[in-house]
Structure 1
């Protein structure tokens, strides 16, 4: 039962047991009616103002006193059942210290009557019933709070998962489009230079730029398609480490001087780590073509038993005014996401990107 449900049901239950108490009590009619009126009025006020904690415990003293008056000298009077209602109200609405303090106050009634009228049977049953109600409702409240916390945590995890997925898709699209535009610009630049003297070479460069644009568009569609379907048949395969040779060839066809060295079996990386290696080489080559156009680039992939080392070194003097962009951060995040590491920075006569990925 929720806290709102407790506030709605408790006054009705107390009014019911107060009415039974009036019908069964040995007190005079005015005393019984005034006691019942006090119980109902206090319960309605507490339900309306909805206090919790120690304020609720203090407010419950009035209905407790009224129930004790109605059930005085009578363990058979059902007004004592109202003590269980109050115990549930306090335990479901307040923290453990408040619930236990309320229980002590509640038990003072039947225990005191038991001490004064030991011959009257039934006092022990009310003591045990009230204590059991408190314990059961304390566990119920903790279970309810646990469920609420689990739901909140699940919502936070779902939102975090969506944010990570958006970030991953953004990285994929960034790498694909960046590579496509860079290599396409190289082809278009070559076509522009060869347009007058070598029209066939210019035509070939434009055809290659068009082919690369179409291929990149398919990769973007495949990447975005990962967010829309779980059917592997409908998703185009993403590249992996075995496609690095084709990637290097695309830069060579665009006129870039790229040397590739591969040692070992790249299939040992698998699809996830293989995609990370591919994207790292792709981004490194894109950056080299963009910031050190015309300089030679050396790509080396060495697949060992424990890990795979990917290095991309380009010549030229790095510009000291150049600040690291999102591309370097993206490469580093890709390496770390599969349990690897990546370093990038200037070296004598060039720039070096080195990634070490577990096999």
Structure 2
């Protein structure tokens, strides 16, 4: 594995770093205090600048207007853009659109690509992904109550979903629902494209998370599907292929998330070190940076960030070399490792800032409450740890662990 960045990627990352620092971080005070929709006109202007710099949609296919970067290259981009919550949206590399674009590109029909993929990559529309259900384990996508029943040339969808992120303002959802309850459990569900203006698609509410209700792109919706009828042509991929498609989506998606978390770690680490150097704590002018406990936190955070970063790049490299299935262990390892490193770094940064860290006068409190979910979504930490342990133990004698 070669850790050297190409000259092209060095230039791209340098341009992104500078843009985030000069154009996006200054907008964060407004982002933290006003609805996101009020900031959208400003973000649209920033997006025009990104297009002019030819940095639009870095991870999306070239034939659809993106930059066509590889998974490892996109990992580096995610790290850079993750330093601000506005980064990925401004450069059009945000979840859930990234994952939806990937599976539309892999499994969509020509008609689906023309209607949904082209305008999505171009930034004309947004989308959402509707899989998690209220009373079932979100870490196990074979457990699902939402149904899609064939009725002539249509599917009729009924069920309740939540944490359908960014549904507020989206034009369509990709919904995972059971189409054949009698099939093998890994073949029961399918994915279906549902335009959000379809009768029966009901956005019940944007769910308050840690005391804050987001809007537009920063929302997490509860959706009620009530006799929601869509044509059978909206089936994405084969009938019964929902689980397999979900795995194709979630594997690389964890690389995107984990490198974004590394970007958050880098930002929090920089703020922590700057605060430690500046915060005077005694009449003789000594600062927090003179305290050994602070120095220890800084050293520990630096080591953990570096280790986590290298783990993610290795996982991305292995996916590119051998595919997501072969890299299952590495994917699970980074999912729980990086999420916990991020939580540790954010906690240290908040502690060093003291009372200031509890306010929205810095970005730390936003990251602290918004990213706690990293240890839950895309599979809870505990699920990934058990999966890794079983893989390791099976390697000793070939016997599965029950």
TM-score, length of structure 2 as denominator length: 0.23
Whichever of the two has the greater Rg, that structure is 1
Higher relative contact order (CA 8 A, sep 6+): 2
TM-score, length of structure 1 as denominator length: 0.25
